[in-house]
Amino acid sequence: MAIFGAMIGRTFSSATTRSLRVCVVGSGPAGFYTAEKMLKAHEEAEIDIIDRLPTPFGLVRSGVAPDHPETKIVINQFSRVAHNERCSFFGNVSLGSSISLSELRQIYNVVVLAYGAESDRVLGIPGEDLRGVHSAREFVWWYNGHPDFSQLAPDLKNTDTAIVLGQGNVALDVARILLRPPAELATTDIASHALAALRKSSIRKVYLVGRRGPAQAACTAKELREILAIKDLHININHVHLQITSMDEEEMKNNRIRRRVYDLLSKASSSSQTHPSSGQPELHFTFFQKPDKFLESNDQSGHVAGVNFEKTTLKGSVGSGNQIAAGIGQYEDLKCGLVLKSIGYKSIPVDGLPFDYSKGIVPNIRGRVLSSSDVDQPVEDGLYVCGWLKRGPTGIIATNLYDAEETVSCISEDIKKKHHEFASIKPGREGLLQILENRNIEVVTFNDWEKIDSEEKRLGILSGKPREKLTNDDIMRIRLFISPWV
């Protein structure tokens, strides 16, 4: 690792008059909205945002689908926050390995954890480790050029069938990427390795499988409309599954999104051809099936060859919450060569952080971290949480804006009430830089990121894309090459 060292003073400045030293961990929407609200609410605050990646913006860069460029415009707003003279971005700095939570709490008055949900819910059924079974998160990170899964290389060539488990918006994203003509993806910021693999893909059939019915599908109408509109796509939905009960009706009465999704599915079912024409790509919506085990291939040892599903029925009453799927003891196999589990993300704890394993979140009340999952426990002084780590892996980008408002309002209330606790002079940025220097951590600044950004855009122009995403190694190399630390 290159030594950070003597250049520190030229890159970062820290006015001693700024008495409230704040560290935000994670530069996704929750992190940036928190920083923005803190800057507005506290003139005395100096905010440092750290991220384990050299690139900022979290899932806006590595989650949002490449064919949704309009969603990524929010990056402009986040960049304005990063340009505020009281805010600094420190990329390539990981909570847990570069610096510990207790160190951060020693050097900052306020620490806000907004590091998202970077693991997966698991099904816990046989065969989950077979080759060809991936989480949607891994697949998404692969096509979006996230450094952790750029090497995933999912096998898209030896099968014509993929099964996507789950029917949320992420499931729709991955199904759309598999089915959309690659020529249409070629003008997006999709990672070049993914585009090359999708061009050679032999996958023509995608099954989107839900354990509940069409009245409970977790996706939203806009995203459903988009996949249904893929050119020349054959849609298959079993008519029998579209028959709904009075309880479904009652559920939909209370949920307009579900009603719209159900109506769209019904319409798609009635307007689709009975059979696909030869070679036509197919999208099958399958309901009332829960995965029971993954089947191993006889020809390719250790590789998935299909999924065994148990049929389900819905149980429960509307009054007591959503109806849940219960197996009815009837099973059937569905053959495939690729499975993408899109059943939800999960957060990961770090050392010294209270964690609620059953909910997969940091226990908190309105963003104040609790010492344990018990609501009667005291709060951890100066420690807050925001975003998916606070509420679980649901919600769109804008949801994190309201979430950050709530967390920041708690911070402001606490500062007002317990002024003396926040008044101690903490080293903040200087303390952070000292620790990182001692550990030879190569920090990527926002200035560095903007050079990387320009380079990605320059490379993109050469291939007709908005940007060509660079790998981590390239980023660290380019960063040194393009006048570092100035």
What is the spatial distance between Cα 469 and Cα 309, in angstroms, rounded to a whole number?
38
Say whether 395 counts as a known binding-site residue: yes
Question: Residue 353, interface with ligand FAD (CB under 6 A)?
Answer: no
Comparison of 273 and 394: residue with beta carbon closer to ligand FAD: 394
Mode of pairing for the β-strands spanning 282-286 and 234-237: parallel
Q: Residue 5: count other Cβ atoms within 10 Å of its Cβ.
A: 9
The alpha carbon of 363 is separated from its chain's Cα centroid by a whole number of angstroms, namely 20
Establish if 400 lies at the interface with ligand NAP (CB under 6 A): no
Query: Looking at 394, 434, 454, 463, which residue binds ligand NAP (CB under 6 A)?
Result: 394
Question: Under 8 Å CB-to-CB from 397, ≥6 apart: which residues?
Answer: 29, 60, 64, 71, 74
Residues 347/117, Cβ–Cβ less than 8 Å = yes
Q: Which DSSP state fits 14? A: -
Contact between 359 and ligand FAD by CB under 6 A: the answer reads no
Residue identified by tokens 């320009």 is 454
- Report the partner that residue 343 touches, choosing among ligand NAP, ligand FAD, none (CB closer than 5 to 8 A by kind): ligand NAP
- CA 246 – CA 319 distance, rounded (Å): 13
Q: Under the criterion CB under 6 A, does residue 123 sit at the interface with ligand NAP? A: yes
Beta pairing partners, 344:
none
Residue 92 annotated as lining a ligand binding site: no
360 binds ligand NAP (CB under 6 A): no
Nearer to ligand FAD, 59 or 411 (CB): 59
Indicate which single residue of 20, 21, 22, 27 sits in contact with ligand FAD (rule: CB under 6 A).
27
Using the rule CB under 6 A, which residue among 397, 441, 444, 475 binds ligand FAD? 397
- 397 annotated ligand binder: yes
- Say which amino acid occupies 467: R
Q: How far apart are CA 348 and CA 330, in angstroms?
A: 36
Is 122 near ligand FAD (CB under 6 A)?
Answer: no
Residue with tokens 């319409």: 267
**Options 337, 344, 354, 428; binder of ligand NAP; rule CB under 6 A:** 344
* C-alpha distances out from residue 99 to 56, 93, 102, Å: 18, 8, 9
251 binding ligand NAP? (CB under 6 A):
no
Q: Contact at 8 Å (CB) between 439 and 466?
A: no
Residues in Cβ contact with 47 at an 8 Å cutoff, skipping those fewer than 6 apart: 22, 23, 24, 35, 38, 39, 84, 86, 87, 88
Strands 338-341 and 324-335, by their bridges, are unpaired
Based on the shown chain and the rule CB under 6 A, indicate whether residue 214 belongs to the binding site for ligand NAP.
no
DSSP secondary structure code for residue 277 in this structure: P
Of the candidate spans 56-64, 210-218, 322-330, 364-372, the one that interacts with ligand FAD by CB under 6 A turns out to be 56-64
Q: What is the rounded CA–CA span in Å between residue 406 and residue 412?
A: 10
With CB atoms as reference, the residue minimizing the distance to ligand NAP is 168
- For residues 210 and 242, the answer to whether their CB atoms sit within 8 Å is no
In angstroms, the Cα distances linking 90 to 109, 352, 442, 449 are 18, 22, 9, 10
Closest CA to 314 of 204, 184, 216: 216
Under the binding rule (CB under 6 A), the answer on residue 387 touching ligand NAP is no
Out of ligand FAD, ligand NAP, none, what residue 385 binds, judged by CB under 5 to 8 A for its kind, is: none
CB half-sphere exposure, 3, CA atoms < 13 A: 3
Q: Which stretch binds ligand FAD (CB under 6 A): 159-167, 202-210, 390-398, 449-457?
A: 390-398
By CB under 6 A, residue 50 contacts ligand FAD:
yes
Region of residue 240 (left: phi > 0; alpha: psi -120 to 50; beta: else): alpha
256 binds ligand FAD (CB under 6 A): no
Would you give the distance in Å from CA 254 to the centre of its chain?
Answer: 28
Partner whose binding site includes residue 400, from ligand FAD, ligand NAP, none (CB under 5 to 8 Å by kind): ligand FAD
Instruction: Tell which positions 272-311 bind ligand NAP, by CB under 6 A.
Output: 290
Query: What whole-number distance in Å separates Cα of residue 429 and Cα of residue 46?
Result: 8
Q: Of 39-47, 167-175, 183-191, 434-442, which part binds ligand NAP (CB under 6 A)?
A: 167-175
Q: Judged by CB under 6 A, does residue 222 bind ligand FAD? A: no
CB of 65 to ligand FAD, least distance (A): 6
Note whether 395 binds ligand FAD by CB under 6 A: yes
Instruction: Determine if 64 is a binding residue for ligand FAD (CB under 6 A).
Output: yes
Task: Out of 196, 324, 396, 461, name the contact with ligand FAD by CB under 6 A.
Answer: 396
Q: DSSP secondary-structure letter at 240? A: G
How near is the Cβ of 319 to ligand NAP at its closest, in Å?
A: 19
388 annotated as a binding-site residue: yes
Q: Which span (1-9, 204-212, 239-247, 377-385) binds ligand NAP, by CB under 6 A?
A: 204-212
The residue among 134 and 290 lying less far from ligand NAP, judged by its C-beta, is 290
Residues that bind ligand NAP in the complex, under the rule CB under 6 A = 121, 123, 165-171, 173, 210-212, 216, 218, 223, 290, 325, 342-345, 393-396
Binding site for NADP(+), by residue number, is 167-170, 211-212, 223, 395
Interface ranges with ligand FAD (CB under 6 A): 25-31, 50-53, 58-59, 63-64, 68, 71, 94-96, 114-116, 118, 140, 170, 173, 387-388, 395-397, 399-400
- Going by the annotation, the residues of the binding site for FAD are 30, 59, 95, 388, 395-397
